[in-house]
Amino acid sequence: MKRISLIVLFLSQAALANVGKVPLDWIKPGSQHQKAFTSLNQLDSAYKNILDANMSLFKNIPEDGHKRWSLQSIRTEVAIEAGGTIGVMGVGGEAALELVWVKKNSSSKMNRAIRLMEEVTEPESESIQIRGEMTEESLAQEIAPIVDLAIASGHMRKRRRLFNGLFKEALKFQSTIRELETAPAMGPWYAYKYQLELYVSAEGNISLVAIGNSIRLRMEWWRLKKNEAKAFYPPMIQEELSANAKFVTAIASDLSVMNDTPLDNGFKLNVLKVGVGTTVTGNLFFVKGKAKAVGSIFFKRDPNEDQALVLPTLMNDVSSYGMIEGGSVVDVPRFSFREGIKKASGIAQFFASRAKTKEEGQFELNVIEAEFELFTSGGIGIVSVEGSSLITLFVTRNVTI
């Protein structure tokens, strides 16, 4: 039994009268244009206006009644121009903030009822084929329904071409996943999900961006563990780890420098997504800019892990991260990356802290996704419309993602 949820996203082209600007060093680290700085009061006011405008718009959405489908959530986007002006997203360009407004109680009554029904009618979970090495044949079998799904959407025709493209990407994923599994958790953050995102044209080609009638496919592989008595696995020592395992573990340990104290309105920084790619030799790198298929590792915070026990300097032999930019690999100093992450968490929390504790109406803001760009200096800035995001911070309340 598949559970289905529907998210409707709106892109409003309305311009807002109240103009606010983010400090330029939020966009470009080390920016010297001090005169262009605007006080945060003006930004605060403009951003609150955007939130209020969204809420007043959603108040007028009628109740679903007894329809088969119900509107679960609405996503709106906020953009920042290169000059720092903040506004509601138009068509095109990168969004700096994605705001997800979830219908109140939608996850409680209805989902509980659905889950209960599923448990009654289908007590067993999926039976599973476990193999040490997944063969190409079994990989092809797993991909086939996704190709069928894309074809069934009515937006494309060339099944064989899409199948070949997806198969190639899945093969790459297979080698990446082995590396993720061997990355030990050191600190409260750990990798829990891998997402492969790609645009597919009507002709079945995997393309750089959405054009016309194309669709966007995102496949998510979740990390699972056996539900049985804990077995003892001795921790791997640093020297035993592969370069990729060190890459993932070093990022996870760097994330512990973020301030993730819960905000008064219930929001908490608890997930981070980072875009990665692999070279022909299979090494993991950050990927900046557009790519045909974007892979992302999701990190989650363990709420039970004490921040004070964390040593962010773990994995000392990783001094820099590789980043692919414009076709060539550059080194990003790890120390600067860590400083940038600290700054990014402050910016994400600035936007999250402005959300009301209790929203009026059917919808409430539950997820804020703040998009950041990574620079070769290692600095991090919130992405402007002209930039390309690499890191996403998820600040959430009342929902798990």
Partner 1 sequence: MKIKYLIAALLITFQVQAGIESASRIVAKQVRRKLIHAQSALSRPVTPYLYTGSDNTAYYMKRIRLQFEPFVEFHLAVFEIKIFPIIEFRWTRKNPQGWVNYKRE
347/367 with CB nearer partner 1: 367
Contact at 8 Å (CB) between 278 and 339?
A: no
Q: How far apart are CA 19 and CA 86, in angstroms?
A: 7
174 touching partner 1, by CB under 8 A? yes
User: From the CB of 144, what's the least distance to partner 1, in Å?
Assistant: 7
210 touching partner 1, by CB under 8 A? yes
34/125 with CB nearer partner 1: 125
Q: How far apart are CA 180 and CA 249, in angstroms?
A: 9
User: From the CB of 55, what's the least distance to partner 1, in Å?
Assistant: 19
173/372 with CB nearer partner 1: 173
Beta bridge partners of 99: 76, 368
Pick one of 180, 257, 284, 287: the residue that binds partner 1 (CB under 8 A). 180
Q: Which two tokens stand for residue 396?
A: 């959430």
217 touching partner 1, by CB under 8 A? yes
Q: How far apart are CA 123 and CA 100, in angstroms?
A: 32
84/188 with CB nearer partner 1: 188
Contact at 8 Å (CB) between 254 and 295?
A: no
Helix (H, G, I), strand (E, B) or coil at 56: helix
Residues 322-351 touching partner 1, rule: CB under 8 A, are: none
- 277-283, long-range: CB < 8 A, 24+ apart: 277/324, 278/172, 278/175, 278/176, 279/324, 279/329, 282/175, 282/176, 282/179, 282/244, 283/243, 283/244, 283/247, 283/322
177 touching partner 1, by CB under 8 A? yes
207 touching partner 1, by CB under 8 A? no
The alpha-helical segments, DSSP class H, found in 286-399 are 334-353
Q: How far apart are CA 276 and CA 297, in angstroms?
A: 7
175/376 with CB nearer partner 1: 175
- Here's the x/- map for partner 1, 101-140, by CB under 8 A: it reads as -----------------------xxxxxxxxx-x---xx-
- Here's the x/- map for partner 1, 39-78, by CB under 8 A: it reads as ------------------------------x---------
26/190 with CB nearer partner 1: 190
308 touching partner 1, by CB under 8 A? no
- Here's the x/- map for partner 1, 133-162, by CB under 8 A: it reads as -x---xx-xx-xxx-xxxxxxxx-------
Q: How far apart are CA 156 and CA 215, in angstroms?
A: 8
User: From the CB of 219, what's the least distance to partner 1, in Å?
Assistant: 6
7 touching partner 1, by CB under 8 A? yes
Q: How far apart are CA 143 and CA 149, in angstroms?
A: 10
Phi, psi of 361 (to 5 degrees): 90, -170
Beta bridge partners of 369: 98, 394
Q: How many residues interact with partner 1 (rule CB under 8 A)?
A: 70
48/223 with CB nearer partner 1: 223
Contact at 8 Å (CB) between 376 and 244?
A: no
Q: How far apart are CA 395 and CA 350, in angstroms?
A: 11
263/401 with CB nearer partner 1: 401
Interaction site with partner 1 (CB under 8 A)? 1-11, 69, 91, 124-132, 134, 138-139, 141-142, 144-146, 148-155, 174, 177-178, 180-182, 185, 188, 190, 192, 194, 210, 215-228, 230-231, 233, 302, 304-305
